[in-house]
């Protein structure tokens, strides 16, 4: 293979130098313009809900302590019929 046009590399260099010379290197944006973000009302509601949820603890310590105390003193009873009825009810509602 024979390359006959050897001026291509010099054309690339001169084009690159021309672009650098034309690019505004130290221009500043106008001082009267500023970027701004505006949230929709729905986005504001979502953000508020997220902040509210972040303030709620994952574990309700008062409920956990109450159950622990009932287990410790033997007063905690499990109603197996209630649990079975709820499981059946949920299984039937899921299959519909």
> Tens digits of per-residue pLDDT, 18-43?
666 665 655 565 667 788 888 899 99
Distance of CA 6 to the CA centre of its chain: 54
Average pLDDT, the chain: 82
> For position 35, what pLDDT does the model report?
87
> Tens digits of per-residue pLDDT, 50-64?
999 998 888 999 999
DSSP calls for 38-70: ---HHHHHHHHHHHHHHHS-SS-HHHHHHHHHH
pLDDT bracket for residue 68 (50, 70, 90):
very high
Tokens representing residue 64 in the block: 């956990």
> For position 94, what pLDDT does the model report?
80
């Amino acid at each position: 293979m024979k390359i006959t046009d050897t001026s291509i590399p010099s054309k690339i260099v001169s084009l690159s130098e021309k672009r650098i010379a034309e690019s505004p290197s130290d221009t500043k944006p106008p001082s009267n313009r500023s970027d701004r973000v505006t949230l929709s009302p729905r986005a504001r509601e979502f953000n508020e809900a997220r902040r509210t949820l972040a303030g709620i603890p994952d574990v309700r310590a008062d409920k956990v302590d109450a159950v622990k105390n009932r287990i410790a003193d033997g007063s905690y009873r499990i109603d197996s019929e209630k649990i079975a009825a709820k499981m059946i009810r949920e299984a039937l509602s899921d299959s519909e």
